[in-house]
């Protein structure tokens, strides 16, 4: 149990375009989901915390107008990278936590390359 999926697994887009990444909890309801970004050879950096039905909470330094997060249901959160630039190229990983247990379950990640 406790499976989190992400789609797409990789995407290449041109500078200035927008890209949407989906994160789904397949076998549990997640009131809270988290979005992380990981640059090559670096750690996972928390971007935002997404709560179902409310606005996301962004970490300091993360532009909320550039990284749009929607958590419309208990099993789906989306991250839209707007007006993407080459510096947004990264590995984006979502994570979800079911009510109760401490463990956070991670999606397989989405490799974004902006050309």
**CA gap 11, 94 in Å, rounded:** 16
Residue 72 forms beta bridges with which residues? Answer: none
Site for other proteins in 76-105 (CB under 8 A): 91, 93, 95, 102-104
**CA gap 18, 80 in Å, rounded:** 7
The answer to whether residues 48 and 56 touch, using CB atoms and an 8 Å cutoff, is yes
* By CB under 8 A, residue 34 contacts other proteins: yes
> From the CB of 7, what's the least distance to other proteins, in Å?
14
* By CB under 8 A, residue 107 contacts other proteins: yes
- Nearer CB in complex with other proteins: 18/64: 64
* By CB under 8 A, residue 22 contacts other proteins: no
- Nearer CB in complex with other proteins: 15/42: 42
Count Cβ atoms below 10 Å from residue 57 Cβ, excluding itself.
15
Count Cβ atoms below 10 Å from residue 42 Cβ, excluding itself.
10
* By CB under 8 A, residue 29 contacts other proteins: no
Positions that interact with other proteins (CB under 8 A): 32, 34, 42-46, 49, 91, 93, 95, 102-104, 106-109, 111
């Amino acid at each position: 149990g406790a499976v989190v999926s992400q789609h797409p697994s990789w995407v290449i887009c041109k500078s200035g375009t927008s890209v949407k990444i989906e994160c789904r909890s397949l076998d549990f309801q997640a009131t809270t989901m988290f979005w992380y970004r990981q640059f090559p050879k670096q750690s996972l950096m928390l971007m935002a915390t997404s709560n179902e039905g409310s606005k996301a909470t962004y970490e300091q330094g993360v532009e909320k107008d550039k990284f749009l997060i929607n958590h419309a249901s208990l099993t789906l959160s989306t991250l839209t990278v707007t007006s993407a630039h080459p510096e947004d190229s990264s590995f984006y990983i979502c994570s979800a936590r079911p009510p109760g247990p401490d463990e956070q379950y991670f999606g397989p990640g989405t490799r974004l390359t902006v050309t």
